[in-house]
Structures are given as structure tokens and as C-alpha cells.
Amino acid sequence: MGKYFGTDGFRGEANVDLTVEHAYKVGRYLGWYYGVNKNHKARILIGKDTRRSSYMFEYALVSGLTASGADAYLLHVTTTPSVSYIVRSDGFDCGIMISASHNPFYDNGLKVIDGNGKKLQGEVEAGIERYIDGLSDEIPFAKREDIGRALDYSMGRNRYIGYLMSIPTRAFKDLKVGLDCANGSSSSIAKAVFDALGAKTYVINNQPDGTNINTNCGSTHIESLQSFVTSNALDVGFAYDGDADRCIAVDEFGRVVNGDLILYVCGKELKKHGELNNNKIVTTVMSNIGLYKALDEAGIGYAKTQVGDKYVYENMVEEGNVIGGEQSGHIIFSKHATTGDGILTSLKIVETMMEEKQTLAQLIEPVKIYPQLLINVRVKDKKVVLDDPDIKAEVDNVEKALKGDGRALVRASGTEPVIRVMVEASTDALCHEYVLKVVNKIKEKGYAI
């Protein structure tokens, strides 16, 4: 990770950590970089979510891009996966999504996507950071006819909607579907897709006002959708986050179906149709042991990566795997997308329900999700903690005590001075007992702040 760019772009509180000047300079650099390296007037796509500050950052990016000679194409309010899709399908040099995903409205972020619809290469991010900090040569301003333009490109968002509608192989006739749009990017897209496919669509939290994105709604506040599904006797529900790159489902009984369960349902369906390349699903180290036991029972293999959809996708590309994701609901179907896509994920779940003639509750029934407890410990030095033999020994002792019916995991946060200690076990009481053994050992060694 760099000074400004983390695993999910440049993110922070608007005009505190991520300022309008930062956005302008990002635009200046990208407009110049792609113009010089591609030897043509750069074409750069911009999308944004519904945060109040997204408009400010959009205009700052446009100013920077056009001042460097690039043309800026505006998708307006849209989803992150739509930017990725249109960038690669319409031959843009890169795309920028203005969003802080599931964060509160006062945060924002810049996700830069390369011409292949993937997250930007590290060396380009490093170049942007040097330019922001004044450590590289000044970029010349475009002059006269070389100055760039800003153009409306809302047609791109409409084509993405059409693309989503084309993916399912059967209609969703008479299925009662609930959608929680988190007052974010999916508000103008998700219902239209499900309606067109024949579902009876019921929507909540689709009235964004600039400050209510993710507020007590969406994939991080699933209780709203749980209540909505059960009180309206719906067949299934889906909750998205602010930029709709993740999806958490709710079955007909109001029970949460997270990313691990989604991977099981969709991976098993791919295997049935002979489409599960390498007979393998890509997970992260945070996936539940219950998922792995169910996959073993189903004869499906799995890979484990670091936490982050970036690492999941890297594995998928390197090994040719076709499905992967995280507990949080970032699910990637490589046949259709290069990023997590919440709406696409929900379509795939419903398609499986229709194909198997089963409810979501029936599809997930073979998976026993183990209780999981995570405690964050603020520390002085993450690497010292991870390298300490006494900490490693304590983790080993916990794993031996669990006798294969649970596990312990200690890892460093990618964005904070925090060590994350997680234990899975057959009961909540065992999780609590064993996670405290590791946490207390970290504190005993004097590492905790």
C-alpha cells in the first residue's frame, strides 16, 4: 500500500483526508499519463455514488483531466461494477469511481480502474502519489484545441443495465424479491433490472439525499431487510452497499446469507453445469470453516487468499478460477465481471433458485456456519506481534485444543495499527474463551496500545 492509495483506492473523510485538491491532482496526473503513454487524447470515464461530496470530487476530477488534455465522460450516479464494465467494453483508457463503498456519507474515495476493468497498477498509483506530494516534475497544461472536454455518457449506464438483464437464462416470473439499495448507487438500477426479468420487486432505502447513504441500511445494516422480507412474506431479499459492488442476501425466513453461503450456492451450481474451472472456489482466510466442510462434502476444492477482493481476483486470473469472494459479499464471477458486482450476484442467486426449484433456505441448508468472534487489538508494531514466537505458540495451542473443529487466525489490518484476532469454534462460549487467550497474550507481552 502507498501513502494515499490502499487496497481499495484513495479513501478518507471528504476534505479532511481526501481533499478537492487531491482529486484535482489525480485528474491532472491521469489525464497526462494516459495521453503521453498512449500517444493520443486520453478518454477517461467517471462514475459516482450518491454522497454529497461526490459531486464536488467529480467536478475536481473533470477540471484536472481536461486541464491535462483528456476528455472526461460522465456516467453520473452509477455503480462501481458498471464503471469497470463500460471501461473495458467501450475502450476507455481508465475509469474513476467516486465512492467510499460501505463507509458513512462524510467519507469518500477514488477507485481508479485500468483499461481492462481491473484495479490500477501499483506503479501508476505511486506516480500519482509522487505528483501529489510535489516529488515529480510539474505536468504541463493543455492549450488551445488540446484542452479536454467533459461529455455526458449516461448511455453507458443504460447499456450496463441491459447487460445485466441479458445474463439470466430464465425469467423470474412471480418471484417476490426485496431490495435494500442503501440509498446508494443501486437505487437507480437494481429495481429496473429485476422488474424487467419479471420479478415482483419491493424496494427500500432507494431515496438518496446525499447524507443517508449506508445509514442504518444496506449490506452493513442487514436488519432492515430482514424485517422487510418477513413482514411482507417475500421469497428472498438482497442488500447492497453504497457503490453496489457487494451483496448480502436474506432467505425467506429472514436469515442472513453472507458471502460464504453465496459462494457455496453459486459454486455448487457452476459445478453441476460443468462450469467450475479447476473444481475450485476462491475464498479469503476469513471464510468460515463451515464453508470448507460443506465444500469438502460437495467435492469442491478451494483456494485461500489475503483479505481483499483484489487478492481474490488476482488468484482467479493466475489460476483460471471462475468464482471467488469474501464474507462481506464481494463476489466475483469472472465470466461476467472483473470486480465484485452486487446486482449480478443477486441475479445469480435467483437464477439458481429458479433452476433448482428450491428456496434460498433449502439451497444453504447443507452448510453449518460456525460461530466466529473477532477482536481488534491496537498495537505499537504489527510486524513484531505477528513474528513473536510466543504469540504463534498461543495460536497453535488454541488450534490443538479445538481439535479440527474450529480454528484461530491472527492477522494485521491493512489500514490501521491493529491486529485482528479471530476464533471459530462450535459454540459462542468456546470462541470467547479462546479468542481471549490470544488477545491476553498480546497484552501480556506489552504490545497493546
240 and 327 together in one domain: yes
Q: Does 257 fall in a domain? A: yes
Task: Show the cell assigned to 248.
Answer: 448480502
- Which pLDDT does position 315 carry in this prediction? 95
210 and 353 together in one domain: yes
Domain boundary among 348, 364, 380: 364
Query: Does residue 414 have a pLDDT over 80?
Result: no
216 and 255 together in one domain: yes
- Which pLDDT does position 20 carry in this prediction? 98
- Which pLDDT does position 307 carry in this prediction? 87
- Which pLDDT does position 415 carry in this prediction? 67
CATH number at residue 63: 3.40.120.10
Q: Does 400 fall in a domain? A: yes
Q: Does 216 fall in a domain? A: yes
Residues 87, 114: Cα–Cα separation, whole Å? 8
Query: Does residue 131 have a pLDDT over 90?
Result: yes
Q: Are 112 and 9 in contact (CB under 8 A)?
A: yes
Q: Does 148 fall in a domain? A: yes
Give the position of cell 457487494: 246
* 101 carries a ligand binding annotation: yes
The set of residues, in sequence order, having a beta carbon less than 8 Å from that of 144 and lying 6+ positions away, is none
pLDDT per residue as tens digits for the range 18-74 = 999 999 999 999 999 999 987 889 999 999 999 999 999 999 999 999 999 999 999
* 260 carries a ligand binding annotation: no
Q: Mean pLDDT across the stretch 191-216?
A: 98
What SS3 class is residue 75? strand
The set of residues, in sequence order, having a beta carbon less than 8 Å from that of 78 and lying 6+ positions away, is 47, 48, 157, 160, 185, 188, 189
378 and 358 together in one domain: no
Question: Which residues in 326-417 belong to E strands, given as ranges?
Answer: 331-333, 372-378, 407-412
Give the position of cell 460501505: 102
Query: Does residue 417 have a pLDDT over 90?
Result: no
Q: Does 223 fall in a domain? A: yes
Q: For residue 408, give the nearest of 388, 430, 429 by alpha carbon.
A: 430
Per DSSP, the residues of 422-440 read EEE-SSHHHHHHHHHHHHH
Residue percentage of the chain with pLDDT more than 70? 99
Residues 192, 161: Cα–Cα separation, whole Å? 8
Give the position of cell 440509498: 183
Name the H helices within 52-178: 52-67, 80-89, 122-132, 154-166
83 and 150 together in one domain: yes
- Which pLDDT does position 310 carry in this prediction? 86
Residues 201, 176: Cα–Cα separation, whole Å? 6
Give the position of cell 451483496: 247
Question: Which residues in 118-224 belong to E strands, given as ranges?
Answer: 150-152, 176-180, 200-204
9 and 140 together in one domain: yes
- Which pLDDT does position 31 carry in this prediction? 97
What SS3 class is residue 292? helix
345 and 388 together in one domain: no
Q: Are 36 and 23 in contact (CB under 8 A)?
A: no
Q: Does 330 fall in a domain? A: yes
* Start-to-end Cα distance in the chain: 23
185 and 329 together in one domain: yes
* 245 carries a ligand binding annotation: yes
Helix (H) or strand (E) holding 263: helix 259-272
How large is the C-alpha radius of gyration of the chain?
Answer: 22
187 and 99 together in one domain: no
Query: Does residue 421 have a pLDDT over 70?
Result: yes
pLDDT per residue as tens digits for the range 96-121 = 999 999 999 999 999 999 999 988 88
Q: Which DSSP state fits 36?
A: H
Q: Are strands 71-77 and 43-48 parallel, antiparallel or unpaired?
A: parallel
CATH number at residue 412: 3.30.310.50
Number of domains within the chain: 3
Taking each helix axis from N to C end, the angle separating 154-166 and 80-89, rounded to the nearest 10 degrees, works out to 100
Where residue 329 falls (left for φ over 0; alpha for ψ -120 to 50; beta otherwise) is left
Residues 142, 197: Cα–Cα separation, whole Å? 47
411 and 338 together in one domain: no
349 and 252 together in one domain: yes
Q: Which residues are designated catalytic?
A: 101
Q: Does 92 fall in a domain? A: yes
Q: Does 449 fall in a domain? A: no
Domain boundary among 158, 189, 208: 158
- Which pLDDT does position 314 carry in this prediction? 93
Domain that holds residue 337: 167-364
Residues 315, 118: Cα–Cα separation, whole Å? 13
Q: What is the mean pLDDT of the chain?
A: 95
Where residue 166 falls (left for φ over 0; alpha for ψ -120 to 50; beta otherwise) is alpha
* 396 carries a ligand binding annotation: no
Domain boundary among 123, 139, 158: 158
pLDDT per residue as tens digits for the range 250-270 = 999 999 999 999 999 999 999
Q: Which DSSP state fits 288?
A: -
399 and 341 together in one domain: no
Q: Are 207 and 181 in contact (CB under 8 A)?
A: no
